[in-house]
Amino acid sequence: MSKVNTYQAKSSKSFAAHKLIYIANMVISFLILLGAIIVLITVLMSRAAGETPRIFGRTIHIVVSQSMEPDILVGDLLVATDIDIAQIVVGDDIIYRSMDPLSYEKIIVHRVIKVGNDTSGNISLTTAGINNPTPDAYPVTAIIGKAIWQSRSLGRLIMFFSNMQNLIVLAVIAFIVILALKLGTKLFAKYSNTRAELAKKAKLLAEAKAELAQQLRLLTLGENSPSDDIKLKDNNE
């Protein structure tokens, strides 16, 4: 294989690898953006309706108090899974509605410090905010779920876009992202066409060089052929 063909083969493989990486990055970025948008819209719509946001069987919560700092900060997003209260153990962070008259029905996330039973034999959980000096006064007998994952960045993102002005900013950002993706696609297509054209020209140039070399070889053989030597000898005689 000639040097030109070897270069073309290596160039084609490198181009294919870069194209695959580019496509993979585009797909991953799109999925991440889509997931963030789905979570954001779901949380905002549920909060506007006064409901607990739920995605794929998990509830989504935004922390609004400092009772669980430093482990859980104000603005953190928590994902809670449905779980039977009988499976809760000491150390679990649970989501529940408060029975305290001062914060009745308010959604709370606190840590379980004791598991017991009430006078009726039902499971009763003693909870506390790790930043609070005393345990909660009212036991928990029903829970929304158990916290299994938290994200500070997503929580702050949702809080940021909880008002109309920030939603407008989101719309502008989305427009810019879509425009950038379209521009990137066009530039990539132009780059692909340029590479293909250069490869085609290189191939034509290699073929022309090979043809020229063949013609020169034939001319050289024609000048030094045995028939010419015989003709010269006949003329001398």
pLDDT, tens digit only, all 237 positions of the chain: 454 455 455 556 666 777 788 788 778 877 877 777 777 777 777 766 667 777 777 888 889 899 999 999 998 999 999 999 999 999 999 999 998 888 888 899 999 999 999 888 899 999 999 999 999 999 999 999 999 999 888 888 777 777 677 778 778 888 888 888 888 887 877 777 777 777 777 888 888 888 888 877 777 776 555 555 545 455 555
173, 176, 182, 187 alpha-carbon torsion, rounded to 10°: -130
The domain boundary residue, chosen from 134, 160, 186:
160
The domain boundary residue, chosen from 109, 125, 160:
160
In a domain, 234, yes or no: no
Peptide bond into 139 cis (omega under 30): no
In a domain, 59, yes or no: yes
Q: What CA–CA distances, in Å, run from 88 to 54, 71, 115, 147, 172? A: 21, 19, 8, 11, 44
Same domain? 38 vs 109: no
In a domain, 128, yes or no: yes
Cα–Cα distance, 67 to 111 (Å, whole number): 10
Same domain? 146 vs 182: no
Threshold 0.75, pTM exceeds: no
In a domain, 42, yes or no: yes
In a domain, 230, yes or no: no
What is residue 4's predicted lDDT score, i.e. its pLDDT?
Answer: 47
Number of domains in the chain: 2
Helix H or strand E encompassing 173 = helix 164-223
* CA-angle at 180, arms to 12 and 44, nearest 5°: 130
Enclosing domain of residue 14: 3-47+168-221
